[in-house]
Amino acid sequence: MPADAPRLQLQGVTRRYGALVVTSDLTISVSPGEAYGIIGPNGAGKSTLVKLINGQLRPDAGRVLLDGKDITAFGPEQRCRAGIATAFQVPQPFGGLSVYENLLVAAAWSTGRSERECRADCLALLERTGLAGQADRDAGALGLLDRKRLELARALACKPRLLLLDEIAGGLTDQEIPALLSIIRPLREQGISLFWIEHVVHALLAVVDRLLVIDFGTWVAEGEPRSVFGSEVVQRIYLGLGGEHAA
C-alpha cells in the first residue's frame, strides 16, 4: 500500500435501480485505523452503500479502492480475502455448529489456512468478545447480545483491514450496547478501519472519528460527529426538526 493511500476510497460511486438513483456520485475516503460513521433516514441508501463496498453490488459508475488498489470488479469472496469483512444487523450463525466452530469456519475459509493454523486466533477471539464460556454451545441457541458478539467475532476471524458494521447495535437495549462497544473501540488500535452505518446514534457517536450524513443517496454533511449531528440541516433532514429545535 502506498504510504499516503487511504484504507478505503469511493470515487464518484453511483448505483441505480432502473430510473431510481440510490447512490449518487459519492466520494468517500477512510484512513487506516479510522472509525467512520454513516447516518441517514430510512431509504437514504445506507445499506446499498455497504453492499457496494463488500461486493454484493457493483456500481453503475465510479470506483472502489482498498489500500490504493482498485477492487471495483471484485466479488464478495475476493473482497473478503482482500481484507473487507461485514457484521450485519441480523446475525445468521451457521446452524448446527458451535460458537467455536462458527469462528473456525470463517477463519479457515477467508484466510486459506488450515483449521489447526486458525485455532489459536479463534480461541483468542472468543476471549476478546466475551464468548469463551460458550465456545461449545450451539450458536443458534445464543441470546441476541451473544449473537451480536458472535457476528463481530466471525467478521474479525476473517482478519479484516476494513470492518463494515451494518446497524450492528440494532435491537439491543441501552444496557447491552456498552458490551458491544467494548469490542469495537479497541479495533482501531489494531489498524482496523471501521465503516459503521447505524440508527442507534448514541452508540455511533461514542466511537466514530468522522460522521457522514446521506439522504436519497447524496452527500449532505461530513465532519466532527457531534457538530455534524447537531447542525440545522441534519436535524431537519434526519430528525424532521426545524432549526429552532436543532441540538
C-alpha cell at 35: 472509525
DSSP secondary structure, the chain, as one string? --TT--SEEEEEEEEEETTEEEEEEEEEEE-TT-EEEEE--TTSSHHHHHHHHHTSS--SEEEEEETTEE-TT--HHHHHHHTEEEEESS----TTSBHHHHHHHHHHHHH---HHHHHHHHHHHHHHTT-GGGTTSBGGG--HHHHHHHHHHHHHHT--SEEEEESTTTT--TTTHHHHHHHHGGGGGGT-EEEEE-S-HHHHHTT-SEEEEEETTEEEEEESHHHHHHSHHHHHHHS---GGG--
- Using one digit for the tens of pLDDT, what is the confidence trace for 147-181? 999 999 999 999 999 999 999 999 999 999 999 99
- Cβ within 8 Å of residue 18, ≥6 positions away: none
pLDDT of residue 235: 84
Provide CATH 3.40.50.300 ranges for the chain. 1-83+163-247
pLDDT of residue 124: 97
What mean pLDDT do residues 193-212 have? Answer: 94
pLDDT of residue 117: 94
Please indicate, yes or no, whether the overall pTM of this predicted structure exceeds 0.85.
Answer: yes
CB 121 within 8 A of CB 156: no
CATH number of 1-83+163-247: 3.40.50.300
Average model confidence (pLDDT) for the chain?
91
pLDDT of residue 2: 43
